[in-house]
Amino acid sequence: MSALNKLRNFVMEYELEIQVAGPLVAVICRMFSNTHAKETLNALMPFLVDKVLEILGDGDDVIKAEAVDHQLLYPLLLLKSLSLVHCDVMMIHVDSFSKVVDRVIKMKNREAQTLGTKIMANCAQSLGSASIYACDVDYENKNHCYVRDWGVSGKIYDTKLLSEMPGEREFEALKGIFHRYFDYALRIINGFIEKGDSSLK
């Protein structure tokens, strides 16, 4: 996993802008998490989560700020790219994602708030989605150039597939996300439906 170590070192050493260079790194992170989700999230999540929480701090100064720089937006962008994984991998990291989302969705800055809501949506999608993937490819073979496999037609009926289905733990975590972030909005909507009053008293 030397490539993953190089990616981790790059993410830890450089803070990029979020218009061009940042999204390119986010795509690379997404490709790594597609192939080795557990190892990639184990390598990158602790640093990125700690970075975001450190910048936000204990007070509300950053939360109330209308303008924030790339030091906060860049790690949020990378977290968004890592938040769409198999349900079993998401279960390991859902609490860490929630710590970030809890703070970020309250921010006044629209870019940060949008990234936070996308992280939340990806977490919910990951927990509630079944995953089907080919298991007959050995990605640990260092002597094989996998780029040469791109565009090559596969043998549909001979492909070995594995599936990962959400279980009770995943659905409980999904319910927790729903109640955590949507109860307030639902109470407002129900109040409007029942009484024509959109205020929450």
pLDDT digits (tens, 9 = 90+) for 22-65: 999 999 999 999 888 999 999 999 999 999 999 998 888 888 88
Tokens encoding 107: 């921010």
Closest listed residue to residue 172, CA positions, set 128, 116, 125, 121: 128
Contacts of residue 54, defined as CB under 8 A and 6 or more positions apart, other chains included, come to none
Higher confidence at residue 151 or residue 5?
Answer: 5
- Portion of the chain with pLDDT greater than 90, in percent: 51
